[in-house]
Amino acid sequence: MQRLQAFKFELMPTGEQQHQMRRFAGSCRFVFNKALALQKENYEAGGKFIGYVAMAKHLTAWRNSLETFWLKDAPVHPLQHALKDLEKAYKNFFEKRADFPRFKRKGQRDSFRYPDPKQIKLDQANGRIFLPKLGWLRYRNSREALGELRNVTVSLSGGKWFVSIQTRRDVETQLPHDGAVGIDMGIARFATLSDGTFYAPLHSFKRHETALRRAQRVMSRKTKFSNNWKKAKVRVQRIHSRIGNARRDFLHKATTTISQNHAMVCIEDLQVRNMSRSAAGSSEQPGKQVRAKSGLNKAILDQGWAEFRRQLDYKPAWNGGHLIAVPPRNTSRTCPCCGHVSADNRQTQARFLCVECGFEENADVVGAINVLRAGHARLACADTSPEVRASGQEPTEATIQFSV
Ligand SMILES: [Zn+2]
């Protein structure tokens, strides 16, 4: 099967290249925001959604306009790609996978993508890459980028520039032999499998929490936009990216192990952005760990779940297996032994005790077993259902990232 994979390296740009990259990222952000503003305006005036082709014509006009002539300095393909990003954001919104697209701000995921491999030259032997309007850039060559080059994304994170090289290649896959598994997602335990194994909660944030707070406090004391404030800001961003790296690493290890060991992976089809909201419980059944869901912790949790889910969307396929998402229905209250459904079965967050037959087990394991059952049921009754993601046919858009 074909595998798409991203290899990420730190760039070692010259001063002039850094200056240019900042400008290009700014131009892409400008185009994204301008197109979003135009979409909104057009919608309010009763117009229809502006598709990519029509929007690209606007871009040509902006590049030729006297007011925004500086857009011509930036490479055109990344600018066009910013429009594609916006279209994708709208699509995700229309299909209820994401919130309404938001305006991008400077310093938030500054990046731009070169979508055309013909314009890129990768010289791995000498640790350098050629990008339009930037020339040859040196990068920290920590491992070989395997496969045929597809596209390149340049991004700024924690004050450093990175290049993410996406490639495509054929790989042989071995079928995992350990059968099916169900997964229950939670807070006290990040993920519990129906076979009883579990993954501890995401601690990456906690470990860096103190450092982050201190850095944020230092930053808040500086005069905004002063040199010292900028320095402090870079420190805050650096800690943020360290947290992100630790979390990504944790998630990749977990999803790789799960995908290698199980041919069928079942998971609750929760709207990820609602996950921590639902975990907070209702008024009749308040969640136990509401504090964990507030503020930053909540955001980190959401991101962790979303990323976990995203990886499970493609990794089982890489290993010849598949993912089945089941509707979340009574998975925490159904007895796997006798089938009795009752809220009373779950008297504490951690323990499951069936009021009918007395079956007792860790509540998360029970959840995972029920998810697995629902997955089996779904597979049996709807082999061709689009929700059953058969895999191995097409390369997925997802990627695995190797940090430097
Ligand atoms: Zn029972």
Residue of 66, 103, 105, 62 whose CA lies nearest to 86 = 103
- The predicted pLDDT at position 269 comes to 82
Ligand 1: centre distance to CA 344 (Å): 11
- Alpha-carbon span 184 to 182, nearest angstrom: 7
Ligand 1: centre distance to CA 338 (Å): 4
- Alpha-carbon span 148 to 165, nearest angstrom: 10
Q: Say what the pTM is.
A: 0.61
- The predicted pLDDT at position 392 comes to 33
- The predicted pLDDT at position 204 comes to 58
The domain ranges of the chain are 2-170, 180-403
State whether the Cα torsion 70-74-77-79 is positive or negative. negative
Residue of 370, 376, 396 whose CA lies nearest to 314 = 396
Ligand 1: centre distance to CA 278 (Å): 25
Please check whether residue 161 is in contact with residue 154, taking contact to mean a CB–CB distance below 8 angstroms: yes
- Alpha-carbon span 176 to 322, nearest angstrom: 10
The number of C-alpha atoms within 13 Å of 349 and in the hemisphere containing its C-beta is 13
State whether the Cα torsion 88-191-390-385 is positive or negative. negative
Catalytic residue numbers?
184, 268, 364
**Residue 134 CB partners (closer than 8 Å, separation 6+):** 13, 17, 20, 21, 24
DSSP 9: E
Q: Which residue has the tokens 């709807």?
A: 382
Longest dimension (CA), the chain: 77
Q: Which residue has the tokens 């082709």?
A: 53
Ligand 1: centre distance to CA 218 (Å): 56
pLDDT means per 10 residues in the chain (404 residues)? 85 97 97 97 94 96 94 96 95 84 88 96 96 96 91 92 93 70 86 89 70 90 92 89 83 90 87 48 42 53 80 85 86 88 85 89 91 86 43 34 32
Ligand 1: centre distance to CA 85 (Å): 49
b vs e for 1-23, b when ≥16 Cβ sit within 10 Å of the residue's Cβ? bebbbbbbbbbebeeebeebbee
Please check whether residue 136 is in contact with residue 122, taking contact to mean a CB–CB distance below 8 angstroms: no
- Alpha-carbon span 227 to 355, nearest angstrom: 64
- Alpha-carbon span 229 to 222, nearest angstrom: 5
Residue of 317, 202, 314 whose CA lies nearest to 250 = 202
- The predicted pLDDT at position 300 comes to 61
Please check whether residue 71 is in contact with residue 29, taking contact to mean a CB–CB distance below 8 angstroms: no
Please check whether residue 369 is in contact with residue 180, taking contact to mean a CB–CB distance below 8 angstroms: no
For 144, phi and psi rounded to 5 degrees?
-80, 135
Q: Which residue has the tokens 């947290």?
A: 243
Ligand 1: centre distance to CA 253 (Å): 35
Ligand 1: centre distance to CA 392 (Å): 38
Ligand 1: centre distance to CA 209 (Å): 42
CA distances from 124 to 49, 134, 142, 332, 376 (A): 43, 17, 10, 51, 46
Ligand 1: centre distance to CA 287 (Å): 24
- The predicted pLDDT at position 173 comes to 63
Ligand 1: centre distance to CA 334 (Å): 8
What is the token pair recorded at 306? Answer: 């979303």
What is the token pair recorded at 89? Answer: 């954001």
Ligand 1: centre distance to CA 360 (Å): 8
- The predicted pLDDT at position 211 comes to 86
- Alpha-carbon span 39 to 50, nearest angstrom: 7
> Which residues of 246-312 form beta strands (DSSP E)?
264-268
- Alpha-carbon span 160 to 146, nearest angstrom: 24
- What are 267's strand-pairing partners? 183, 325
Ligand 1: centre distance to CA 371 (Å): 16
- The predicted pLDDT at position 263 comes to 87
Residue of 182, 181, 178 whose CA lies nearest to 331 = 182
Of how many residues is the chain composed?
404
What is the token pair recorded at 63? Answer: 């590049």
